[in-house]
Amino acid sequence: MSMIQPIAIYVLWLRELKRLLRAKSRLVGTLLMPLFFLAFMGLGFKDTRFAGMPGTTYSAFLIPGILAMSILFSSTFAGLSVLWDREFGFLKEIMVAPVSRVSIVLGRIAGGVTTSLFQALAILAVSLLFGFRLQEWARIFPALLLMILISVTFIGLGLAFASNMRDMQGFNMVMNFVILPLFFLSGALFPLDHFPPWVKMLSRLDPLTYGVDGLRAALLGKSELPLLLDMLVLAAFSLLMVILGAWFFEKSDSV
């Protein structure tokens, strides 16, 4: 049996897409929090300026962070679907089917990435109503690549956690202890210039830091690190997380 089966990947991707389109409340729910941050923080601090990014309003500074936040939450909680599928027996059915687990993992990643991109692009479209403008529309292409890398990274992380858990309530509690520190350490809402050195060191270990910085480089043309470096580091993180997620999923039981 081939390790990678395109038909199985396509079927699992299509299943995730249909679940998104049918669950209108899920789509609205995942968009509300980012839009809440964008509306209240972006407008409330609209006159704030940063020394490291002259000429950049807080709203413009915030939008790449909000995009990264949306992808972080939707991608990580894509791992929750493993627990739902285990709970209702679907996971056991696909495990006993003549489908490699690698194909199952890739199908879930493809579905999760598509869902995350759809939500992020919806937020980017809404941000235009708040005055955000791209200087060059060609910048959207490196931004899309960064969004995909962020999504793949945290889908892999979600799979790694979900493959080792059986309780959905426990999963939510653990993910809150993981997601929120990663989010705040990334500099998505504010620059980390005035934080202690140990906080800055921790932020360098956070893959979302490179995603946020890369999105600012792509969308605003202003960042702390070079865009290529952000992409390379994030690509390394995504590869590592996919390997870990696939390995834990391979070792997990379907029941």
Report whether pLDDT(48) > 90. no
For the chain, what is the mean pLDDT?
81
Place of tokens 């879930």: 108
Strand boundaries in 1-73, DSSP class E: 49-50, 53-57
CB atoms within 10 A of CB 192: 17
Q: What is the mean pLDDT of residues 192-215?
A: 88
Residue holding tokens 């929120």? Answer: 180
User: What percentage of the chain has pLDDT greater than the value 90?
Assistant: 19
User: Domain-by-domain residue ranges, the chain?
Assistant: 6-251
Q: For residues 185 and 97, give the distance between their C-alpha atoms in angstroms, rounded to a whole number.
A: 41
Confidence of residue 74 (pLDDT cuts 50, 70, 90): confident
Contact status, residue 71 vs residue 120, Cβ threshold 8 Å: yes
Q: Is residue 140 pLDDT above 60, yes or no?
A: yes
Q: Which two tokens stand for residue 164?
A: 């080792």
Tell me the average pLDDT across 82-110. Answer: 74
What pLDDT is stored for residue 228 in this prediction? 94
With 50 as the cut, is the pLDDT of residue 1 above it? no
Q: How confident is the model at residue 32 (pLDDT cuts 50, 70, 90)?
A: confident
pLDDT at residue 202 tops 50: yes
What's the CA gap between 102 and 107, in Å, rounded? Answer: 9
The CA distance from 62 to 174, in Å, is 27
State how far the Cα of 65 lies from the Cα of 212, in Å rounded to an integer: 6
Residue 230 has pLDDT above 60, yes or no: yes
Among residues of the chain, what percentage have pLDDT more than 70?
Answer: 81
Whole-prediction pTM value?
Answer: 0.87
Query: φ, ψ for residue 47 (rounded to 5)?
Result: -95, 0
- Residue 223: which pLDDT band, with cuts at 50, 70 and 90? confident
pLDDT in tens, 143-190: 999 999 999 999 988 888 887 777 667 767 777 788 888 998 888 888
pLDDT at 82: 75
pLDDT at residue 192 above 60?
yes
